[in-house]
Amino acid sequence: MTNAEMAAADGATIKSGAFGGIVLMERAGGAVADAALARFAAAARVHVLCGPGNNGGDGYVAARILAGKGLSVRLYALAPPKPGTDAALAAETWAGPVGGLDAFAPDPADLAIDAVFGAGFSGALPDPVQSALARAVDRRCPVLAVDLPSGVNGDTGQGAGAVACAATVTFYRRKPGHLLYPGRALCGETIVAEIGVRAARPTATFENAPDLWRGALPRPGADTHKYARGAVAVFSGPRHGTGASRLAALAAQRAGAGAVTILGHPNALDIHAAHVTSIMLRAWGDDPMAALGTLKGIGAVVLGPGFGDLPLARSLAAAIVDDKGPALVLDADGITAFADDASGLFDAARVRDEPALVLTPHAGEFARLFPDLAADAAAGKLAMARAAAERAGAVVVLKGPDTVIAAPDGRAAVNANATPALATAGSGDVLAGAVAGLAAQGMPAFEAACAAVWLHGEAGRASGPLAIAEDLIAALPAHLSKLV
């Protein structure tokens, strides 16, 4: 849930009359105390750092509970809570002394509970907070964060001055900032505490996991045939640039597509012919688009991996994207081809009710296609991908260690299972092929993209830290077949 979605859920829960905000705060502080006792019961002292808002309120509650359990608790406040707030009520229940943050002097055997800022924080961490957190790091004192490490923005994961915590206790649902970097790396172990919040309405933000798309996975009927199981066309690069398209074609097959064809110049097909067996090859002469037209029942096309010829990529993509044609996965050179002007492509893509264009940029390609969105880095990766998807009428897969998949209707998922093993040449080509393989089998573009990104991540994990792109392809089916 984004901060706004969480605030709405919080407000709806309180408005429903089941219990007031102070009850939620008691439960939240209780969950923090539980986490501290479960993981740091042997701490010599517990230092609780409290901010002026509700995050601080949770800190006062946790401090009171931990002191009641016999721990040695000290509490420091950046500023007192505003009168009349739940946090002020919580602070009244803390009977011990309240020091300033400058009095915080941790030891390695202690625990620090960071309840300075949570969901309500924006901007730059005030100096006294930065220096207190830095002291915890310098003195090797583990930090348990309440909701978020202070300074991390819950919507973007950005957080200048925030420090790495041993663990973070958040409430009801994880926020994008727990999954997007650098926030993800700063949270440590993330514990989600159910505190009785009930969402009023469905939300549009997800962690990418099978629950989100499992129901849309292709399950071929007994009467299927190879074309009904999904036909994919992949445009090849030139003679000395065929590998990327071959990786995409193989990945499309391993994602279950029944018939995969590589389209290319005859020179390039000679090279492919020496490598592939069950993949079909179709030569283009002067007119690659006409060659595509001769293929039967194509459900998805991959254009861009290793393609090389930017003007040709541009004209092919423009010809493929229309009101009824196959899905198009546009990657690599296919994206770069539209760096100067993508408005015509986007206008054509937006005609479809269900998106049929999937863009799979890494950060550099994204900046070429959406320079204005990329320039506003403070908006964060989630907002950037959402805005791009809406503008393009396309599913946007903004790749990286925390890949975001966004649909034009506002849905967006943050992926969390990727490992650095995926940072290997050709890995993106495999992903593009897997998206096309699933889309050709009739999976809607957003679900197909989410599923492919997740399967790609699992394939990376299963293939170990030294995986190469070929290994990822081989590892795809095991994870897919477990889900269907």
Ligand X SMILES: NC(=O)C1=CN([C@@H]2O[C@H](COP(=O)(O)OP(=O)(O)OC[C@H]3O[C@@H](n4cnc5c(N)ncnc54)[C@H](OP(=O)(O)O)[C@@H]3O)[C@@H](O)[C@H]2O)[C@@H](O)CC1
Ligand Y SMILES: Nc1ncnc2c1ncn2[C@@H]1O[C@H](COP(=O)(O)OP(=O)(O)O)[C@@H](O)[C@H]1O
Q: Residue numbers of the site for K ion (CB under 5 A)?
A: 114, 118, 145-146, 150
The entry of K ion, ligand X, ligand Y, none near residue 399 (CB within 5 to 8 angstroms by kind) is ligand Y
| Site residues for ligand X per CB under 6 A | 6, 10, 24-25, 28, 51-58, 117-124, 126, 146-147, 171, 195, 197
Among K ion, ligand Y, ligand X, none, what does residue 114 contact (CB within 5–8 Å per kind)?
K ion
CA distance 277 to 290: 24
DSSP, res 104: -
Binding flag, residue 308, ligand Y (CB under 6 A): no
29 binds ligand Y (CB under 6 A): no
Q: CA 252, CA 115: separation in Å to the nearest integer?
A: 48
Nearer to ligand X, 30 or 400 (CB): 30
Q: Which range touches ligand Y (CB under 6 A), out of 128-136, 415-423, 444-452, 470-478?
A: 415-423
- Side chain identity at 14, as an amino acid letter? I
- Residue 456: CB minimum distance to ligand Y, A: 6
Task: Give the max Cα distance, the chain.
Answer: 84
420 in contact with ligand Y (CB under 6 A): yes
Burial class (CB within 10 angstroms; exposed 0-12, middle 13-18, buried 19+) of 111: buried
Shortest Cβ 150–K ion spacing (Å): 4
Please indicate if the annotation marks 318 as binding a ligand.
no
Q: Beta strand pairing status for 298-303 and 280-283?
A: unpaired
Q: Which does 17 bind (CB under 5 to 8 A by kind): ligand Y, K ion, ligand X, none?
A: none
CA–CA dist 14, 401 (Å, integer) = 37
CB atoms near residue 98 (< 10 Å): 16
- Record the tokens describing residue 422, joined without a space: 């995926």
- The reply on whether position 362 binds ligand Y by CB under 6 A is yes
**Binding segment (CB under 6 A) for ligand Y, from list 129-137, 273-281, 320-328, 400-408:** 400-408
What Å distances lie between residue 252 and 298, 334, 338, 481, CA to CA?
Answer: 13, 18, 24, 14
User: Of these partners, ligand X, ligand Y, K ion, none, which one is at the site of residue 51 (CB under 5 to 8 Å by kind)?
Assistant: ligand X
Considering only CA atoms, which of 122, 113, 114, 193 is closest in space to residue 155? 122
User: Does the footprint of ligand Y cover residue 239 (CB under 6 A)?
Assistant: no
Minimum Å gap between C-beta 268 and ligand Y is 18
Query: CB 318 → K ion: shortest distance, Å?
Result: 49
Using CB under 6 A, pick the residue from 428, 433, 437, 444 that binds ligand Y. Answer: 428
Residue-by-residue DSSP string for 310-358: HHHHHHHHHHH-SSSS-EEEE-HHHHHTTSS--HHHHHHHTT-SS--EE
Whether 258 contacts 439, CB under 8 Å: no
Contact 66, 75 (CB under 8 A): no
Classify residue 466 by its DSSP letter: T
Size of interface with ligand Y, in residues (CB under 6 A): 18
Binding residues for K(+): 55, 114, 150
Binding residues for (6S)-NADPHX: 54-58, 118-124, 147, 244, 306, 362, 429
Binding residues: 54-58, 114, 118-124, 147, 150, 244, 306, 362, 399-403, 428-429
Note the residues at the interface with ligand Y (CB under 6 A): 332, 362, 399-401, 403, 418-420, 422-423, 425-429, 431, 456
